[in-house]
């Protein structure tokens, strides 16, 4: 896909390269994230507590994704699938459900375990509930063998 390496600046979709490429990537990604967050706040009133990213359903088996989301929806935390975060580089690179390798990224909002106002105190009750949920999710992941 590269016809001339001397003039090609696109490198694995990252912010590498000479100025201004890292700055452009940073600024554009920030704009996309800010816009997605603003839309979520406009629709829901705030960001969800948990965002599960599966690259639009490409990085994990649909059955596994369904189990994870069922547990998340039954928890006291709000959750979304492929919302603001759809799965980072590692999730998209290594999630190959057709080979039995499933990747699900989890982004947790700060409010799920601590106060969002300075000095940002730890909320032991919320953190305890989140820890219990995470332990349950990991248990399901460890016990599940799909697509193999």
pLDDT digits (tens, 9 = 90+) for 23-34: 777 777 777 767
pTM over cut 0.75: no
pLDDT in tens, 66-95: 999 999 999 999 999 998 788 888 888 899
Mean pLDDT, all residues of the chain: 82
CA distance readout (Å), 112 to 28, 109, 146: 28, 6, 30
If phi over 0 gives left and psi between -120 and 50 gives alpha, with beta otherwise, what is residue 12? left
Burial class (CB in 10 A: 0-12, 13-18, 19+), 68: buried
In the block, tokens 């994990």 appear at 60
């Amino acid at each position: 896909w590269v016809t001339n390496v001397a003039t090609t600046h696109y490198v694995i979709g990252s912010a590498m390269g000479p100025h201004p490429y890292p700055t452009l990537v940073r600024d554009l990604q920030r704009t996309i994230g800010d816009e997605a967050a603003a839309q979520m706040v406009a629709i829901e009133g705030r960001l969800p507590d948990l965002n599960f990213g599966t690259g639009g359903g490409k990085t994990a088996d649909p059955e596994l994704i369904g189990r994870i989301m069922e547990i998340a929806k039954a928890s006291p935390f709000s959750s979304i699938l492929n919302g603001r975060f759809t799965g980072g580089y590692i999730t998209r690179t290594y999630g190959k459900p057709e080979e039995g390798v499933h990747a699900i990224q989890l982004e947790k909002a700060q409010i799920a375990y601590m106060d969002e106002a300075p000095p940002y105190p730890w909320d032991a009750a919320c953190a305890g509930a989140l820890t219990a949920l995470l332990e349950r999710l990991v248990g399901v992941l460890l016990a599940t063998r799909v697509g193999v």
